[in-house]
Structure 1
Amino acid sequence: MFNTIKLFYGENQSQFGVLRLPESEKPSAVIVIIHGGFWQAKFNLEENNPIAEDLTQKGYATWNIEYRRLGEIGGGWTGTFNDVINAINHLTNIKETYHLDLSNVIIIGHSAGGHLALWLAARTVHKSLDYMFNELVVPIQKVISLAGVTDLKKMWQIHEAKGLKSPVSELMGGTPNEVPERYNIASPIELLPINVKQILVHGEEDKHVPPELSENYYLKVIEQNKHVNLVTLPDTEHFKIIEPTSRAWESVIDTL
């Protein structure tokens, strides 16, 4: 059993998180969970409830965060980005009340949440960008990207090639040709190297975010002699990776 508490980190209806606490007398290590859905308002944090519950049952405090998304006032550039920073920073405000150990914070992000998780990890070294975004004050020790959008330009190109209207350009407020500087400071692959342990998990049958995005990111990190693990899962599609009863999720647990 565990306690579940909904807490707001801002005034907007989407600026909240759900904190789940294990039964423990000691301060709990924290895993921040960021959901996907290509940053669109029709998707929300409830998709990550099953894995949040599973991780809490395993002894972690989980902070499953919501953020302003495309289709909401303030969603997109730069509100979505600042929201995930503020959501994590809020842990400093609640750590004493809920006995949280912030010395070893892990972030798990799925799909578009994987993009935001890797981008947050890059914030620990790219302090020069604080003029545009809020400062991240909570240290991040590890980031786990589950079928993450590691390369915004590449994802936009994939959508364009399929004749789809890409949510990437809506998030960024323009295409890579129109606002190239934004892509350079928001796309994880452009922000390497970073000094945070990174783990990439991707299903080989993923039709939403092709596994080549994680593979290309992995190769670039390796070239820079930085620490990264890539776990590719056969016969695994996009959402199987966040099903607690699946073998794919067992592989994620192994990375912890």
Structure 2
Amino acid sequence: MTESNGSTPQEQTRSVPDWEKRFRAPRVSLPDWAEDAPHRSLFVSNATGTYELYAWDRETGEQRQVTDRANGTTDGVLAPDGEWIWWFDDKDGDEFGVWRRQPFHGGPDEEAAPGLAPSYPAGMAIGRDGRTAVIGRSTDEDGSTIHLSRAGTDAADGSVVIYRHRESAGVGDLSHDGSLIAIEHTEHGDAMHSALRVLRPDGTTVAELDDTKGGTVELGLEVLGFAPVDGDTRLLVGHQRNGRWEPFVWDVASGEETDLGLAERLTGDLSAEWYPDGSALLVSHSFEARSELYRYDLASRRLERLDTPKGTVSSATARPDGSVEYLWSSAAEPSVVRSTTGRVVLDPPGLKCPGSLPVEDVWVDGPGGRVHALVQRPIGVKGPYPTVFDIHGGPTWHDSDAFAAGPAAWLDHGYAVIRINYRGSTGYGRAWTDALKHRVGLIELEDIAAVREWAVTSGFADPARLVLTGGSWGGYLTLLGLGTQPDAWTLGIAAVPVADYVTAYHDEMEALKAMDRTLLGGTPEEVPERFEASSPLTYVDEVKAPVYISAGVNDPRCPIRQIDNYVKRLQARGAVHEVYRYDAGHGSLVVDERIKQVRLELDFAKRHLPTSSPSGG
């Protein structure tokens, strides 16, 4: 068992291979900008070796580090007036904490929401005065609460509860003039599909929108944002009425809904945000693991494609001058913040990130329909390849043609990599995402097994050298796959996994309990057979492959106690396994720690995989 933190001086001074450079190279997020001071921006970077928040004054060019915490900081919001930076302060990655704020040009931090006890965050929106905020909170004791808070006031007067419910809810947006508050809620009990409510600052209801029909129809809504114009009551809403995500405009005052007619023009999931003057929408189109951008003029209904390279636009924003800035990458090319003007917006100095290898698209017939997989082949290695099946988390997420340092590290070491958008993944329609209910985990593994069968029978993958790996939900599927498909995998590597579903349910944060009740149809006491069927602990005695597990001791999503329960069962059997525990939450924001984790995984595979197939392939 390995339990430690950080890297040794010898590790820091030796020559750095490309796989490690990809983690160490400075990278930046898409800069967020202040609505009323667009020259002021906030972004996240790993420039110091830990992901932290940075302020950027575009007029002077000055950049400064805002936060400096041992385990990093990524949750921050720039106030519309550009005067304050709000950031979420938890303890060592446990996601349980309070909001603090700091002046844009520096100064001491102060408590941003006086009187609010620590909680899990559930959305936040700041008013244009820079002081008023709508803050969503979640605790086991209170469920979901939403507060109207004013920074700089006494604790007794600083916060008013405007919404409370036992089920999950969160802040969507605050209107431009501060008179309307949009929230997403799941009072109907389906945590996968939200309804919308618009409130006044005193908590009274203005309008309601619910596509779930009382929970009998699995359709969800999401808040995309109020129009950025004073007195404008239009709210941009994401919906699933046509079997995939797309936007419409809802006037919350009149109740009028305006369909944008995008379903007839574009195939795939669509999201959108407002241009700064409210006359147009910036539309993000995601289809078959790649994405692109469009400008949609609301008056003429003209849809114009913006020039972006093939790959993935992970985030984008329209600027006041009409240009669009976006964060782009592909599997072969590292991420960069670009503008439709043709320039690179933010290029961090220092070590440049090495590229990697492109992906190939593979479609495999599975029991629930065609399964999309992204495949990468190592250079200089003859097939059939030792192959890593790298399973994404979520489960409501998807792998895309985007740059990722983890898969690139496996490729550098001679492994092929296959990533699979199993049922439960986003980007392939509502039915595909919602398919995994009740037989949780088992349905995803059916799709993974279908892709494995293709990989082996096609001669791509060496059946004697197959690694099943993933983090979070991917780690859960790894452990479940090792137990339910024991002869299919040579070894498993699970990061921050669900390992004992019942204990995980009782220990995890409240929002995830609600999600599990939706997925499995109840609590462990109400549907024990479903939790048992979907729990890796049920099948631990069937596991044949060596198992490597890494876990954060402060993780509120996949808590450490349920992992310890699984490990004890492996130990009792004398099964080959290794465990690495580190002092953080659901993953780490510290570069050295992340590199150490990948190195341990690579070393585990090297020690436990055959050097070649029995046939000499």
Q: TM-score range by the shorter chain?
A: 0.7 to 0.9
Are positions 1:27 and 2:369 aligned together?
no
In structure 2, the residue matched to 1:148 is: 497
In structure 2, the residue matched to 1:181 is: 529
Distance 1:91 1:163, change over 3 A: closer
CA distance in structure 2 between the partners assigned to 1:241 and 1:114 by the alignment = 18
Q: Gaps spanning 5+ residues in structure 2: where? A: 1-355, 606-617
- Please say if residues 3 and 22 of structure 1, whose CA atoms lie closer than 8 Å, have aligned partners that are also in contact: no
CA distance in structure 1 between the partners assigned to 2:479 and 2:559 by the alignment = 17
Are positions 1:228 and 2:585 aligned together?
no
Work out which of the residue numbers 52, 62, 70 in structure 1 matches 2:407: 52
In structure 1, the residue matched to 2:393 is: 36
Matched position secondary structure for 1:239: coil
Q: How does the TM-score come out when normalised to structure 1? A: 0.80
- Please say if residues 201 and 231 of structure 1, whose CA atoms lie closer than 8 Å, have aligned partners that are also in contact: yes
Matched position secondary structure for 1:237: coil
AA at the equivalent of 1:50: A
Distance 1:242 1:18, change over 3 A: farther
Question: How far apart are residue 110 of structure 1 and its match?
Answer: 0.7
In structure 2, the residue matched to 1:68 is: 423
Work out which of the residue numbers 99, 102, 107 in structure 1 matches 2:468: 107
Distance 1:94 1:105, change over 3 A: closer
Question: How far apart are residue 163 of structure 1 and its match?
Answer: 6.9
Matched position secondary structure for 2:499: coil
Work out which of the residue numbers 417, 436, 439 in structure 2 matches 1:78: 439
Distance 1:208 1:216, change over 3 A: same
- Please say if residues 197 and 227 of structure 1, whose CA atoms lie closer than 8 Å, have aligned partners that are also in contact: yes
- Please say if residues 203 and 232 of structure 1, whose CA atoms lie closer than 8 Å, have aligned partners that are also in contact: yes
- Give the total of aligned pairs: 239
Higher strand share: 2
Are positions 1:169 and 2:509 aligned together?
no
Distance 1:8 1:80, change over 3 A: farther
CA distance in structure 2 between the partners assigned to 1:231 and 1:250 by the alignment = 12
- Please say if residues 68 and 74 of structure 1, whose CA atoms lie closer than 8 Å, have aligned partners that are also in contact: yes
Q: How does the TM-score come out when normalised to structure 2? A: 0.35
Matched position secondary structure for 1:90: helix
Matched position secondary structure for 1:54: helix
CA distance in structure 1 between the partners assigned to 2:501 and 2:437 by the alignment = 14
Encode CA deviations 1:219-240: one digit per residue, 9 max, x unaligned. 122122322211112x343233
- Please say if residues 493 and 547 of structure 2, whose CA atoms lie closer than 8 Å, have aligned partners that are also in contact: yes
Distance 1:81 1:50, change over 3 A: farther
- Please say if residues 146 and 241 of structure 1, whose CA atoms lie closer than 8 Å, have aligned partners that are also in contact: no
Distance 1:189 1:168, change over 3 A: same
AA at the equivalent of 1:33: D
Q: Gaps spanning 5+ residues in structure 1: where? A: 126-137
- Please say if residues 30 and 63 of structure 1, whose CA atoms lie closer than 8 Å, have aligned partners that are also in contact: yes
CA distance in structure 1 between the partners assigned to 2:591 and 2:376 by the alignment = 18
Distance 1:243 1:212, change over 3 A: farther
AA at the equivalent of 1:239: G
- Please say if residues 374 and 418 of structure 2, whose CA atoms lie closer than 8 Å, have aligned partners that are also in contact: yes
AA at the equivalent of 1:75: L
Distance 1:67 1:79, change over 3 A: farther
CA distance in structure 1 between the partners assigned to 2:403 and 2:496 by the alignment = 14
Matched position secondary structure for 1:192: helix
CA distance in structure 1 between the partners assigned to 2:514 and 2:587 by the alignment = 20
Work out which of the residue numbers 576, 579, 601 in structure 2 matches 1:252: 601
Are positions 1:237 and 2:594 aligned together?
no
Encode CA deviations 1:231-256: one digit per residue, 9 max, x unaligned. 112x3432338979632222222222
Are positions 1:116 and 2:477 aligned together?
yes
Distance 1:140 1:95, change over 3 A: closer
AA at the equivalent of 1:237: G
Question: How far apart are residue 211 of structure 1 and its match?
Answer: 2.3
CA distance in structure 1 between the partners assigned to 2:449 and 2:557 by the alignment = 27
Question: How far apart are residue 144 of structure 1 and its match?
Answer: 1.0
- Please say if residues 48 and 242 of structure 1, whose CA atoms lie closer than 8 Å, have aligned partners that are also in contact: no
- Please say if residues 552 and 581 of structure 2, whose CA atoms lie closer than 8 Å, have aligned partners that are also in contact: yes
CA RMSD of aligned residues (A): 3.0
- Please say if residues 55 and 62 of structure 1, whose CA atoms lie closer than 8 Å, have aligned partners that are also in contact: yes
In structure 1, the residue matched to 2:357 is: 2
AA at the equivalent of 1:168: D
Higher helix share: 1
